[in-house]
Amino acid sequence: MPSALPAVEYRIRPANPGAHLFHVSCTVRDPDPAGQIFRLPAWIPGSYMIREFARNIVTLRAELDGEAWPIDKLDKHTWRAAPVPDGGVLSLHYEVYAWDLSVRAAHLDGTHGFFNGTSVFLAVEGRSDRPCLVDIERPDGAEYRDWKVATALPLARGVAGAARPYGFGWYRAADYDELIDHPVEMGSFTLGHFDAAGVTHDIVLTGRHDCDLERLCEDLRRVCEWQIALFGAPPPMDYYAFLTMVVGEGYGGLEHRASTALLCSRAELPWKGMEGLPDGYKSFLGLCSHEYFHTWNVKRIKPAAFTPYDLTQENYTRLLWAFEGFTSYYDDLALVRSGVIAPDDYLGLLGKTVSAVLRGSGRSKQSVAESSFDAWTKYYRQDENAPNAIVSYYAKGALIALALDLQLRAGSDGRSSLDDVMRLLWQRHGQTGLGVAEEGVFDAVREAGGGTLGPKLARWLKKTVEGTDDLPLARLLKGFGIDWQAEPTTAAPALGVKLAAGNGECRLASVYDGGAAQAAGLSAGDVLIALDGLKLGSGKALDDMLARRQPGDEVEIHAFRRDELMVFRLALDEAAADKISLAPSARAPAAALKLRQGWLGHPG
């Protein structure tokens, strides 16, 4: 038992890994005498969708001083205990089903345990601003003797039974907000360490892998040190952990104040003797860089709508293009500016982002400001019509950041940049805790650009994020000595569809606006079974047949819609020139080379 108990005390134990059940208790020493209310968050910061975590609570009961006590459920995620006499100690005991192998919730089996606090720790209404203690317990059984704990939660030093580094036992948090912002990984994981600007960073790898940890630590050290230097040392945390679940196929990340939860494919990790820089490894480094940049941008530089978070319902803002989009710009930029990848590698990654944005007609219908506001119902709940209806505030937001950065640099002869905007936001908002108002980013651009340039670009930015026009990237990049080439991804004519992955069939995932398939009446979900009388068993078979035809050729397609066989006749389209390649110009003038060096070479 702790020697000095705070107002709220939690215990969590992997009680039944085979059944994927955590047992959790929450004890309140001074409950509301009128009836203490408990509530589980409906969403997790950084993932803007109502997820109803309370649906995973299997059983729940209350005790007062060790005896059963009445408790009622008020709504989908709220409970209220019966009024208690003065001096009574109220405890809730509940089971949480944990079988969500993602970065957002909780997962438990015989190989490891992982949880975000939003999935397992009930908030105590009226007590959320008080300190919390949490006892993370080892599961019973000799097979779990070697399990360790990885988390950025502070150790409960001075408390009886306090955890030691990587150990089970008591941890502490200043309040409920901090408690749920430190995910926990437990199991027999692999640990790597590096120091960046005097701060210890851990890489935690759970799952089978053959990772070259020395290579990974060195590459991430350079990226982290560059980001710390951008905002200014010391960083806003005294320890950081990359909690990584390694699987056969997977990708995802979620930021926290001193850690990130990651999901990656084992093929994306570096291995001993690896030559070059494979695309998968570049992708993983970009993911790590993205989540690390969030340590400043969104975890501390926050929209005013998130200060504080209301975890019971949607929190609307039109600024996710700045918090996710600008972060998506800096994630790969940090790789090249820290020297982890070469400029040519960066331009290749940038070309892929441009191509992805240009392939979606939704960009002409939805602005990134609207996409930000509608994240809760559209971006995070995409359906088969998403490419035709929405634009990614991540991807187009990154391109807006690029265009803004290039214009700041070119307009000031390299004296100003987006780096200055980010540092200003950090000083005014990240270091003070003052949320960024909906007009705040425009104000920062106006000030950082200075003179006539700042107000001009602030007006441009506002018009751009609220409009749907394509960005003048080819022209802007030319001023930095970068050539732009647009060409079709394939020489084959196009149907105007996206195929669903796997299942050994040719199923349509999306049908693009204005394409041949849509004009002929094909729809998402249709299964193509034959083209001109020849069987289509896979997407490759379709590609092979289309490669033998020309734009304008008429074809006959047999397809199943539900259990009905249908026939469609259509004329094939010419493939769109939507693959963008970027490369350094061989004839760039000295002024362009100077700007390019300032952009890709070092901050500021």
DSSP 322: I
Reading phi first (left if > 0) and then psi (alpha if -120 to 50, else beta), residue 284 is in alpha
Give me the pLDDT at residue 582, please. Answer: 98
Residue in the structure block whose two tokens are 């080379």: 593
Tell me: pLDDT of 4 over 60.
Answer: no
> What is the signed CA dihedral for 433, 437, 439, 441, rounded to 10 degrees?
30
The dotted CATH code for 8-186 is 2.60.40.3650
Q: Cα(119)–Cα(110) distance, rounded to whole angstroms?
A: 19
Region 211-238: what's the mean pLDDT? 98
Identify whether the C-beta of residue 289 lies closer than 8 Å to the C-beta of residue 18.
no
Q: Cα(73)–Cα(53) distance, rounded to whole angstroms?
A: 15
Question: Could you tell me the pLDDT band of residue 1, with boundaries at 50, 70 and 90?
Answer: very low
Reading phi first (left if > 0) and then psi (alpha if -120 to 50, else beta), residue 526 is in beta
Residue-wise pLDDT tens digits, 555-566: 999 999 999 999
Q: Cα(58)–Cα(212) distance, rounded to whole angstroms?
A: 41
Tell me: pLDDT of 604 over 90.
Answer: no
Region 215-231: what's the mean pLDDT? 98
Q: Which residues contact 590 (CB under 8 A, 6 or more apart)?
A: none
Give me the pLDDT at residue 597, please. Answer: 95
The most distant pair of C-alpha atoms in the chain lies apart, rounded to whole Å, by: 83
Region 17-22: what's the mean pLDDT? 97
Assign domain 497-571 to its CATH superfamily.
PDZ domain (2.30.42.10)
- The continuous run of DSSP H or E covering 598 comes out as helix 590-601
Domain range list for the chain: 8-186, 189-277, 296-480+585-604, 497-571
The packing angle between helices 279-293 and 343-358, to 10°, is 80
Look at the chain and count its residues. Answer: 604
The whole-chain average pLDDT of the chain stands at: 96
Tokens of 151: 């988390």
Q: Cα(374)–Cα(446) distance, rounded to whole angstroms?
A: 27
Amino acid at position 208, single letter: R
Tell me: pLDDT of 2 over 80.
Answer: no
Residue-wise pLDDT tens digits, 63-79: 999 999 999 999 999 99
Q: 21 exposed, middle or buried (CB, 10 Å; 0-12, 13-18, 19+)?
A: buried
Give me the pLDDT at residue 3, please. Answer: 39
State CA 358 to chain mean position distance.
22
Amino acid at position 210, single letter: D
Q: Which residues contact 363 (CB under 8 A, 6 or more apart)?
A: 357, 391, 396, 468, 470
Choice between 540 and 558, residue whose per-residue pLDDT is larger: 558
Tell me: pLDDT of 35 over 70.
Answer: yes
Architecture of domain 296-480+585-604: Orthogonal Bundle (1.10)
Tell me: pLDDT of 310 over 50.
Answer: yes
Residue-wise pLDDT tens digits, 132-180: 999 999 999 999 999 999 999 999 999 999 999 999 999 999 999 999 9
Q: What is the pTM of this model?
A: 0.95
- β-bridge pairing 78-81 and 37-39: antiparallel
DSSP 297: B
Q: Shortest CA distance to 36 belongs to which of 66, 70, 75?
A: 70
Q: Cα(29)–Cα(190) distance, rounded to whole angstroms?
A: 38
Locate all alpha helices (DSSP H) within 62-209, ordered by sequence. 117-120, 176-179
Q: Is-same-fold flag (189-277; 296-480+585-604)?
A: no
Q: Cα(506)–Cα(530) distance, rounded to whole angstroms?
A: 9
> What is the signed CA dihedral for 582, 587, 590, 592, rounded to 10 degrees?
-30
Question: Could you tell me the pLDDT band of residue 48, with boundaries at 50, 70 and 90?
Answer: very high
Amino acid at position 484, single letter: W
Give me the pLDDT at residue 6, please. Answer: 55
The fold of 189-277 is: Zincin-like (3.30.2010)
Q: What percent of the chain is modeled with pLDDT above 90? A: 95
Q: Which residues pair with 584 in a beta bridge?
A: 482
Region 314-318: what's the mean pLDDT? 98
Q: Which residues pair with 54 in a beta bridge?
A: none
Residue-wise pLDDT tens digits, 379-434: 999 999 999 999 999 999 999 999 999 999 999 999 999 999 999 999 999 999 99
Q: Cα(238)–Cα(155) distance, rounded to whole angstroms?
A: 13
